[in-house]
A and B are shown apart, each in its own frame.
Chain A
Amino acid sequence: MQQRVSLEDRQINRDLLRGVLEHPLWWFALVGFVGLVLLAGVISTGYMITKGIGVTGLNRPVMWGFFITNFVFWVGISHAGVMISAILRLTQAEWRRPVTRAAEVLTVFALMTAALHPVIHTGRPWRLLYWAFPYDFSRGIFVNVRSPLIWDPSAIFTYLTGSSLFVFVALLPDLAVLRDRTTGIVHHVYSVLCLGWRGTPKQWKLQTVAGILLSALILPVFVSVHSIVSWDFAVATSVEAWHSTIFAPYFVIGAVHSGVSAVVTMMALMRWLWKWDKYIRPEHFDALGRLLIVVSTTWFFFFFLEVLFGIYGQESPEIALREMQIFQWPWSMLFIIFLLTAYFIPVPLWLFPKVRRSITLMFWTSILVNIGMWLERFLIIVPGLARKQPLTFSWGTYHPSIIEILIVAASFALVAFLLLIFSKVFPLIPLFEQKEGQLFAKELRVGRKKVPAVIREE
């Protein structure tokens, strides 16, 4: 499957450091545009905090809306990094190499963005410390560890710490390359950051071991984070659509689905913007496309089970809820869009190798998946609340306000903004991984036989 593209180390350095050392105009234009959207979101958030949650479209039955939907969405996206780096590293999938860093960085930034949502959506966000940190401060009251809102911050901070370390460890050799190529104050900053990397065999060994250890350690966190996010809903016994027992695996696999799709989107953008055609090749899209077929089909199966389990009991509120979710305008339209975009358009397309190897098609299908996955979370959270129990008097609906829409748009801008800034400071494709991959692929001729030139210790 792998095409042999052999490049010189010198050329790899030159190509992959292009993002850091060159200053193209489009980069400034993009940062400016994304920054404007971000600014609109920051102003909206400030307005909301000074005025009150009244500026949103939330109401009595629907107390959670766009913010929590977006929170779940971004935590989902953050599952990309570990899926690509840790799992593929442990299973020694060679094609992962150019994608790892982008995926890990996406993880970190998506998580940071996600973590903002539960904070700004509260009525008194300035009281964050009272619940996000399990410490009683001066009040003599410990946090309520039975609440999923206490599990959430612990899970997210653990995941954030783990994945940040992961990114940093993988950055070390590349930081040293940057140190050697810069001068002045920038040189000093990179010198400090690369922790005295000289590329000695011992350092390489430690770096590899750290990467493998972190991969293995982060895996349980990977499974637990989205499980815990799903328990925000699953423990709410009063909301019909929320307490299906399949929620944890359903959410985790859904997160992988949307996360890996986001990586595909990002890879296509990297290939187009920085012209890294030699590094991000159709075969990488092909491999991710195959992975996505399996992941999305598993996810779809869980989704099907979730609906089935819901209506199996034939309880009137559950039936009413499903009726609203699937047949009532405009939810029915959203439901159809969700089904088409999350599964029925992309997956049959991915079955064709030509589609998987077409960067344009992969880009658009992966965007579709994430539109669908956003709607999926929305369709779980809001109709569930709007049709909570058989007391029909309190049923309601939800219309997002412009403030909420702006903040959601700004969350996308924030991730893009952070990624763009990152790409200016650090190489987005790991140099050393690329070189290592080439080394492993080298073969020696012994008589008539070809043998690998390097033997792995792992």
Chain B
Amino acid sequence: MAQQSEHKWGMVIDLDKCIGCQACVIACQAENNVPLNTEEIFNQKRAIEWIRVERYWEGEFPNVKARFLPVLCQHCENAPCEPVCPVYATYHNQEGLNVQVYNRCVGTRYCQNNCPYHVRFFNYWTPQWPESLRNQLNPDVTVRSRGIMEKCTFCIQRIRRTTRNAKREGRKLEDGLLQPACAQACPTSTLTFGDLNDPDSKVSQLAKNSRNYKLLEKLGTDPNVIYLKKVDPKAAEELHA
């Protein structure tokens, strides 16, 4: 058995608050050196978005409602992507993260086939940035080469930096200090990140909410991302009318 770490990183996504503004998507793109997605790439269904906002329409015209569902790597405790990788490019670390080791990846793409959430991305081409964006690249994050898989890391570079600094300064890691780019950018604080092992952390508190559920829970993947469902009294009334 691997030694259990003191942290177990997780996220709560409150769908009642999501307005579908895509700020998380942009923030993630900038933080993690995600290649630019042009319209053509989108149409080819090859866009790389470590977090995406899925939009679903509910109801019949004219009573149509847009529903937003931010989806990122669920960091499953029982991740289907992990056992199928022949080279251990993806594995589970002791802090509850599903980690991708770029150097090991050979690009069989089996992990994405076996991911029920479609949150693993393949680099079909060598990523390229216009000259004007060269200096914008984050030096803390590897630029992935072509032929390998990549996915949300919960901004592991931030996790590492913040925990290391806290350790060096001899203080306890404060809840809320550590935030991935998406959570930081969210204007409605839909996304809450934190330590699920700490019972007092905001994320643990929110996770106990009665609206909680996990995405595709019946598959038994046991994700570390917890959703709080949207409450729409009007929709409920319409449904029962």
CA distance A302 to B123 in the complex (A): 38
Contact code string A27-46 (vs B, CB < 8 Å = 1, else 0):
00000000000000000000
Q: Separation in Å of the A130 CB from the closest CB of chain B? A: 5
CA distance A58 to B107 in the complex (A): 13
- Is B126 part of the contact surface with A, judged by Cβ < 8 Å? yes
- Is B112 part of the contact surface with A, judged by Cβ < 8 Å? yes
- Is A225 part of the contact surface with B, judged by Cβ < 8 Å? no
Contact A123–B123 (Cβ < 8 Å): yes
Q: Which of B9-46 contact A (CB under 8 A)?
A: 44-46
Contact B84–A63 (Cβ < 8 Å): no
Residues on A with C-beta less than 8 A from B110 are: 147-149, 232, 236
Residues on B with C-beta less than 8 A from A93 are: none
- Is B104 part of the contact surface with A, judged by Cβ < 8 Å? yes
Contact A123–B85 (Cβ < 8 Å): no
- A interface residues, how many (CB within 8 angstroms): 43
Stretch at the interface among B114-122, B153-161, B190-198, B204-212: B114-122
Contact code string A307-326 (vs B, CB < 8 Å = 1, else 0):
00000000000000000000
CA distance A236 to B124 in the complex (A): 23
- Is B1 part of the contact surface with A, judged by Cβ < 8 Å? no
- Is A297 part of the contact surface with B, judged by Cβ < 8 Å? no
Residues on B with C-beta less than 8 A from A237 are: 80, 114, 219
Using known A-B contacts A60-B118, A123-B106, determine if residue A54 contacts B219 with beta carbons closer than 8 Å. no
Nearest B residue to A389 via CB reads B116
Contact A118–B108 (Cβ < 8 Å): yes
Stretch at the interface among A168-176, A390-398, A436-444: A390-398
Contact B84–A123 (Cβ < 8 Å): no
Contact code string B132-163 (vs A, CB < 8 Å = 1, else 0):
00000000000000111100000000000000
Contact code string A223-236 (vs B, CB < 8 Å = 1, else 0):
00000000010011
Residues on B with C-beta less than 8 A from A143 are: 86-88
Contact B106–A238 (Cβ < 8 Å): no
Q: Separation in Å of the A399 CB from the closest CB of chain B? A: 10
- Is B105 part of the contact surface with A, judged by Cβ < 8 Å? yes
Q: Separation in Å of the A50 CB from the closest CB of chain B? A: 10
- Is B61 part of the contact surface with A, judged by Cβ < 8 Å? no
- Is A412 part of the contact surface with B, judged by Cβ < 8 Å? no
Contact B84–A236 (Cβ < 8 Å): yes
Q: Separation in Å of the A403 CB from the closest CB of chain B? A: 13
- Is A146 part of the contact surface with B, judged by Cβ < 8 Å? yes
- Is B71 part of the contact surface with A, judged by Cβ < 8 Å? yes
Using known A-B contacts A124-B105, A238-B219, determine if residue A130 contacts B113 with beta carbons closer than 8 Å. no
Nearest B residue to A145 via CB reads B86
Residues on B with C-beta less than 8 A from A146 are: 83-84
Contact A59–B45 (Cβ < 8 Å): yes
- B interface residues, how many (CB within 8 angstroms): 44
- Is A144 part of the contact surface with B, judged by Cβ < 8 Å? yes
Residues on A with C-beta less than 8 A from B58 are: none
**Choice from A52, A63, A130, A396 contacting B106 with Cβ under 8 Å:** A130
- Is B109 part of the contact surface with A, judged by Cβ < 8 Å? yes
Residues on A with C-beta less than 8 A from B55 are: 393
- Is A377 part of the contact surface with B, judged by Cβ < 8 Å? no
Contact B114–A54 (Cβ < 8 Å): no
**Choice from B83, B85, B117 contacting A391 with Cβ under 8 Å:** B117
Contact B114–A144 (Cβ < 8 Å): no
Contact B147–A122 (Cβ < 8 Å): yes
**Choice from B47, B85, B121, B147 contacting A124 with Cβ under 8 Å:** B147
Q: Separation in Å of the A306 CB from the closest CB of chain B? A: 19
Residues on A with C-beta less than 8 A from B107 are: 53, 122-124
Contact B85–A147 (Cβ < 8 Å): yes
Using known A-B contacts A143-B86, A391-B54, A391-B71, determine if residue A52 contacts B146 with beta carbons closer than 8 Å. yes
Contact code string A149-178 (vs B, CB < 8 Å = 1, else 0):
110000000000000000000000000000
Q: Separation in Å of the A141 CB from the closest CB of chain B? A: 6
Contact A238–B86 (Cβ < 8 Å): no
Contact B80–A144 (Cβ < 8 Å): no
- Is A303 part of the contact surface with B, judged by Cβ < 8 Å? no
Using known A-B contacts A52-B147, A122-B107, A124-B148, determine if residue A235 contacts B84 with beta carbons closer than 8 Å. yes
Contact B114–A396 (Cβ < 8 Å): no
Given contacts A60-B112, A143-B86, A389-B216, 11 further A-B contacts (CB under 8 A): A52-B126, A60-B122, A118-B108, A122-B107, A124-B106, A124-B147, A127-B106, A139-B104, A143-B88, A238-B116, A390-B216
Task: List the 8 closest pairs (A to B, CB-CB), nearest first.
Answer: A123-B107, A123-B147, A54-B124, A59-B45, A393-B54, A394-B118, A63-B109, A238-B116
| Selected A-B contacts with CB under 8 Å, 22 pairs | A51-B125, A52-B126, A52-B147, A54-B46, A58-B124, A60-B121, A122-B106, A122-B108, A123-B149, A127-B106, A141-B88, A143-B88, A144-B87, A147-B110, A232-B110, A235-B84, A237-B80, A391-B71, A391-B216, A393-B52, A393-B56, A393-B69
Q: A residues engaging B (CB < 8 A)?
A: 51-54, 58-61, 63-64, 118, 121-124, 127-128, 130-131, 139, 141, 143-144, 146-150, 232, 235-239, 385, 388-394, 396
